[in-house]
Amino acid sequence: INNHQLGLAKQLHEGLLFYCTYSVLPGLLQLIDLPTLKCYLPGQPEKFSAFLDKVFGLEE
């Protein structure tokens, strides 16, 4: 099993968050430019539930 949290952090690092280990955190906090981060757009759970309804034949 690989570290799914690290994998997710690496993917979200594309402008959505900063990540590091605790040993370099003080230095990172001094260097980061928070305004460069993008807002994380909310999901659309209704699309997933509609997909599941279709897969399981629950559509009306």
pLDDT of residue 60: 66
At 6, give phi and psi (nearest 5°). -65, -40
Record the tokens describing residue 5, joined without a space. Answer: 């949290």
User: Residue 13 has what DSSP assignment?
Assistant: T
Other CB atoms within 10 A of residue 2 CB: 6
Mean pLDDT by 10 residues, the chain (60 residues): 82 88 92 90 92 88
pLDDT of residue 56: 93
Q: SS3 of 31, please?
A: helix
Task: Show the DSSP H helices in the chain as ranges.
Answer: 4-12, 25-31, 45-55
Distance in angstroms (rounded) separating the CA atoms of residues 26 and 48: 40
pLDDT of residue 7: 87
Domain boundaries, the chain: 4-55
